[in-house]
Structure 1
Amino acid sequence: MTYLVTGATGGFGGYALEFLKDLVSKDQIYALVRSEEKAATLKEKGYNVRVGDYSDINSLSNAFDGIDRLLFVSGAPGNRQEEHANVVKAAKDAGVQYIAYTSFADADHSTSALAADHIFTEKQIKEAGIAHTFLRNNWYLENEMPIIGGALASGKFVYAAKEGKTGWALKREYAEVAAKALAGTEYPEILELSGSPITYAELAAALKEATGKEIEVVSSDDQTFVDSLTAGGLPQPVAEMFLSFQHDIKNNQLDVTSSDFEQALGKPLTSRVEAIKELLN
């Protein structure tokens, strides 16, 4: 059996590789990278490397040759539907038997702009007739580092999501489930991977406990939120993208309650306080 992890030089793919090597023989693991330059570190670690780009279906066809099981880490927004269609077609043509795909929380009921590409991709995988698990990941705690970093620098934890809740967890925890799925753990077709949903006010309380610092918690309007991020060094377009995430959360797009995550891991998720400490260290 052969296993390929896409996005292998990214945070999620890197974590998945590290978990996977403890589950299957390392000589059966392949890592997909976009260029030979990006392959060096992975080769040094002893992984087989394939070069391919989601935008180039021919490169993907070559990369997937001889691969049985695929961890398909979703690409960046932009031209994602066309790129994801390339991945699925190349996988089908290469005879890939199974795909674990990193999707979006409660994708088929979501009204978030982020969900559309994932709904499209899930449909492509189903129509290709490839066995699969849809890993409907909630929100990585790492995504909040601009807010957390800004709070530690300014003494003000500023958010605009009002009472909206999010099922945060660490990226490595999502990646561990992905690695287990790829290695052959039998899971349902859909895993709603969500921590216990909490508000930003509760996240701020966890930050104060983790750091022992006095931090003012500010539920702000949109402009104040954007200004707080740009004051911390984020470019305006990036700050506005973060604001769009705040709107999704305010509109309950990530308020998903599910026991799937801890059941799939076989252990409790890291507490919010300990998870923050881990990120800050």
Structure 2
Amino acid sequence: MVTGASGGFGGYALDWLRRLAPEDDIVGLIRDPRKAAKVESKGFEVRIGDYGDIDSLMSAFGGVDRLLFISGAPGNRRSEHAHVVEAAKRRGVSFIAYTSLAQADLVHNMLSTDHVFTEAKILQSGIPHTFLRNNWYLENEALLFRHALKTGRLIYMSDEATVGWALKREYAEAAARVLISGNEPEVMELSADPTRYGELAQALEAATGKAIEAVDLDEEQFVEALRDDASEQTVQGMVEVQRLIAHGDLEVESDDFTLALGHSLLGLEDAVKEVLSKQHLL
């Protein structure tokens, strides 16, 4: 079973699982019945379950052996994630692959605390598992790319800190392969090569043929620069992310990603092109 099956990550994971296992063995869990047709149209069985409703999860998890547990949205994430783990345990799920965050047990930031909580719940459950500690989706930088193409400046506020950017579909492929394998370690740090924003600016320039300068700003300058491009809430969220990047929370050196995939990641320039194309920026 893939949870969050109507979302971007879940959709990619289902597509990869189709290549790795019989379609009849794959089930998608979604919260909103109105989105069922989107997943069913691909030929997958769909079950309805809400992380906030443990009874719905108990019903949906019947007969599920291996679970790709895609983390939910911030808010009531701890209680919701606890429901998922409890339902999985009571229904006899034999393996959980959980999408966590890079270095979750070593850092302390706005994102890590819920993941640490969930990892602990899974450990306490006794269910065999792999924590997929995903670094950062390159798609998350789409707003900065859009701003850079407009101004010629890729702005950031994280000094020389590095990030292990990769495409969401690559993280989803790794998750699908781990779910099928069952022989992976308990923790996998899924990170591409550590990369600075200056290098990302170079890749953006190469991908578009436009001159792009990487510009390190302080927080006030960063907020002001993006004021007309996004809501105040969105910009503040990006500030929080820039803070954790500057702190080194996404600085990871690991070969777990390529080991999980069985092949190399897409090069940064081509990955940037893919993001730009999907955002209709090319």
CA drift of 1:123 comes to 0.7
CA drift of 1:56 comes to 0.8
Report the Cα distance in structure 2 between the residues aligned to 1:158 and 1:279, rounded to whole angstroms: 17
Given candidates 193, 197, 202, the residue that maps to 1:196 is: 193
1:263 aligns with 2:249: no
Gaps of 5+ in 2: 278-282
Report the Cα distance in structure 1 between the residues aligned to 2:258 and 2:23, rounded to whole angstroms: 26
Q: Output the amino acid matched with 2:247.
A: N
1:18 aligns with 2:15: yes
What residue is the counterpart of 1:207 in the other structure? Answer: 204
Q: Output the amino acid matched with 2:246.
A: K
What residue is the counterpart of 1:238 in the other structure? Answer: 234
CA drift of 1:227 comes to 2.2
What residue is the counterpart of 1:229 in the other structure? Answer: 226
What residue is the counterpart of 1:96 in the other structure? Answer: 93
1:251 aligns with 2:247: yes
CA drift of 1:102 comes to 0.3
Q: Output the amino acid matched with 2:157.
A: A
Which is worse superposed, 171-180 or 181-190? 181-190
1:155-166 pair list within 5 angstroms = 155-166=152-163
CA drift of 1:39 comes to 0.2
1:118 aligns with 2:119: no
Report the Cα distance in structure 1 between the residues aligned to 2:217 and 2:50, rounded to whole angstroms: 40
What residue is the counterpart of 1:74 in the other structure? Answer: 71
CA drift of 1:228 comes to 2.3
Q: Output the amino acid matched with 2:268.
A: R
Which is worse superposed, 164-173 or 210-219? 210-219
What residue is the counterpart of 1:181 in the other structure? Answer: 178
Report the Cα distance in structure 2 between the residues aligned to 1:230 and 1:171, rounded to whole angstroms: 27
What residue is the counterpart of 1:275 in the other structure? Answer: 271
Gaps of 5+ in 1: none
1:149 aligns with 2:136: no
Report the Cα distance in structure 1 between the residues aligned to 2:146 and 2:58, rounded to whole angstroms: 41
Report the Cα distance in structure 2 between the residues aligned to 1:63 and 1:133, rounded to whole angstroms: 22
Q: Output the amino acid matched with 1:80.
A: R
CA drift of 1:229 comes to 2.3
Normalised by the length of structure 1, the TM-score is 0.96
Which is worse superposed, 8-17 or 109-118? 109-118
Given candidates 42, 50, 59, the residue that maps to 1:45 is: 42
Q: Output the amino acid matched with 2:100.
A: S
Report the Cα distance in structure 1 between the residues aligned to 2:110 and 2:29, rounded to whole angstroms: 28
CA contact (8 A) 2:227 2:235 kept: yes
Report the Cα distance in structure 1 between the residues aligned to 2:35 and 2:220, rounded to whole angstroms: 39
CA drift of 1:185 comes to 4.4
Number of aligned residue pairs: give it: 277
RMSD: 1.0
Normalised by the length of structure 2, the TM-score is 0.96
Q: Output the amino acid matched with 1:259.
A: D
SS at match of 1:210: helix
Q: Output the amino acid matched with 2:159.
A: K
Runs of 4+ displaced beyond 4 Å: none
1:117-136 pair list within 5 angstroms = 117-136=114-133
SS at match of 1:21: helix
1:59 aligns with 2:19: no
Q: Output the amino acid matched with 2:149.
A: L
CA contact (8 A) 2:29 2:48 kept: yes
Write the deviation string for residues 29-85 of structure 1: whole angstroms up to 9, x where unpaired. Answer: 110111221101111111000001111111111111111110000011111111100
What residue is the counterpart of 1:8 in the other structure? Answer: 5
SS at match of 1:198: coil
Percent identity between the two aligned chains: 52
